[in-house]
Amino acid sequence: MKIIPALDIIDGKCVRLYKGDYNQKTEYKLSPLEVAKSYEEAGLKHLHLVDLDGAKAGEVVNWEVVQSLCSQTQLAIDFGGGAKTTQHLERLFELGVKQVTVGSMAVQDPEQVAEWIKTFGAERLILGADVLDGSIRTKGWTEDSGLQIGEFLRNWLDKGFKYVICTDVSKDGAFQGPSTDLYREIITTFPQVRLIASGGVTELSDLPDLQAIGCHGAIVGKALYENRITVEELSSLSF
């Protein structure tokens, strides 16, 4: 299982939201590059980078952060937040992003997303499934799509997606533990999925639990910032 630290960005700064609420954010002093370098120096290989401004605005905003992290680290970066056009994806890949997460667009413009799978390949794309009370959320979690997670996943896995980041919005940043039951149900229903768990990881023991149910990866965010889990502890894990 991949261990993937997260960086959420607003106004070029590292932040964390509470349950996806932009009005309940915590801002951290270190720059995104300083944080990313600390992960790399500890031996971690991956990074989940989220442009929260972009997710809300509907277009990528924090381009300078993307460029600095891609050019000054060797981390394998997956990016989410506002990638809405083919030009956005092309630029992100040119800068060095390894994968782009597609969430709101999979609801708003499915024909375009299906074309991206053909153009860029399923290995370079991740389906973002942000869920609250069983329903897919869009636009930085601010809108309810009305789609249930099961039908959403079935549709897109049939169309070629392999990787899925599933975030339970009710757990994100809340230190309540991950939605293990939800992830187990998804993996059981769709055994072909490479599921990346996101939201709620609170302590180190959560990670072996996610690995045991078959998660392909696990994203760790606020628990790192708040020192509930240390970078050294993460880097010592082997799955």
Query: DSSP code of 34?
Result: H
pLDDT of 20 above 80:
no
Residues 6+ apart with CB under 8 A from 21: none
Average pLDDT value for residue range 117-140: 92
pLDDT of 127 above 80:
yes
Opening angle at CA 203, ends 42 and 214, nearest 5: 85
Tokens of 73: 């680290």
Distance CA 169, CA 111 (A): 26
pLDDT of 140 above 80:
no
Residue range(s) defining the domain that contains residue 195: 2-236
pTM for this predicted structure: 0.91
CATH number of the domain enclosing 167: 3.20.20.70
Return the half-sphere exposure (C-beta side, CA atoms, 13 A cut-off) of residue 98.
Answer: 14
Distance CA 70, CA 95 (A): 6
Catalytic residues: 8, 130
Average pLDDT value for residue range 68-81: 97
Domain count across the chain: 1
Distance CA 173, CA 208 (A): 19
Tens digits of residue pLDDT in 203-216: 999 999 999 999 99
